[in-house]
Amino acid sequence: MSLPGAVAPTPEGTVTGPSGAPKPKKKRVTSGEMGESSGHAVMPKAPSEDTVVGKTLKLDGNGSAIEFSRDGADLQVAKLSLAGDRLTRSGEACRVEVAGMPLKLTTRDSGSGLRRYQISFPACAFTLDVLDGAILVTNDGKACELKEADCRADPSGLWGMQESEFDPKKAEEMLGARAKVEKTVRSDFRVLYDRNKKEKLIRDFVVEKQASFSSWREEVCRSYFKESEFGYCALRLTEARAIALGAQLAAGVKLPEGYAEAAAAEEAAAKTKGKR
């Protein structure tokens, strides 16, 4: 399984040309403390919205549900139902079928190479990134309180394949696909590190994001249906990570607003503490 639009790196080793003479091995680029990289960055393209149109995507595979459709070239929400807990009776499940369909989607800059949209639903206006046949929803860690429906729902997480679609015969294939994408992530990270290792601020940011990725992925995916058997959620998030690294390799690393100031303040505080 390969990422959409991915360009495979040139295989290393001895290759015989038309003349029969062996070609030399590709020169490898080393990254010192970060290990070795091939120097061939894979820059996959963002998945198309067509991968989610007409499908029913469920949060964690069995929770809230969403369906997308098109109005000409515009993507819109054709159906949305949110599952959560009752506001007045904690622990009791509730489900809200959102009315007023279709809902408009507004494009946003993701900064990660993915197609990002803001959903026009005042009671729960979340942001979503389009993955391959799935969406990743972020809502600043806040649950939505739908008071008229007496329901609190948190849309954050991966919405994708539902439990009825998982085929046990595909489990090994899916786990193998994840391993391949993780190899791409490691390779692209090392190339990105090499390019920025002389710029301390950018280098530290790149290393920080890579180091935190695994724990973030575990947090998002731990509730997904049969994740330990299929690794579906981890596969999709790892693909998204590969796309983000590819975007940084193509356009450069853009530091988040306030990151430089925060890093400077932290460094100053550390120096002050060291003098005591």
Q: pLDDT tens-digit profile of 153-180? A: 999 999 999 999 999 999 999 999 999 9
Q: Which residue has the tokens 């295989």?
A: 11
Residues 194 and 151 in one domain: no
All residues at 6 or more sequence positions from 260 whose CB lies less than 8 Å from its CB, including other chains = 201
Closest CA to 98 of 155, 160, 156: 155
Q: Is residue 229 part of a domain?
A: yes
What per-residue confidence (pLDDT) applies to 122?
Answer: 87
Residues 96 and 69 in one domain: yes
Q: Are strands 115-119 and 127-130 parallel, antiparallel or unpaired?
A: antiparallel
- 95 or 6: which leads in pLDDT: 95
Total-model pTM: 0.81
Residues 218 and 253 in one domain: yes
User: Predicted confidence band at 41 (pLDDT cuts at 50, 70, 90)?
Assistant: low
Q: What is the mean pLDDT of residues 190-213?
A: 96
Q: Is residue 32 helix, strand or coil?
A: helix
User: Predicted confidence band at 12 (pLDDT cuts at 50, 70, 90)?
Assistant: very low
Q: What is the mean pLDDT of residues 197-225?
A: 96
Q: Is residue 80 part of a domain?
A: yes
For 80-122, the pLDDT digits (tens) are: 999 999 999 988 999 999 999 999 999 999 889 999 999 988 8
Residues 124 and 201 in one domain: no
What per-residue confidence (pLDDT) applies to 275?
Answer: 65
Which residues constitute the domain of residue 106? 49-163
On the question of pLDDT at 38 being above 50, the answer is no
What per-residue confidence (pLDDT) applies to 262?
Answer: 83
Q: Is residue 201 helix, strand or coil?
A: helix
Of the three residues 124, 146, 163, the one that is the final residue of a domain is 163
Residues 148 and 236 in one domain: no
Residues 209 and 228 in one domain: yes
Residues 155 and 194 in one domain: no
| Mean pLDDT value across the chain | 85
Of the three residues 144, 163, 182, the one that is the final residue of a domain is 163
On the question of pLDDT at 25 being above 50, the answer is no
Closest CA to 109 of 256, 259, 271: 256
Q: Is residue 154 part of a domain?
A: yes
Q: Based on the structure, what is the number of domains in the chain?
A: 2
Q: Tokens standing for 250?
A: 């193509």
Of the three residues 121, 139, 163, the one that is the final residue of a domain is 163
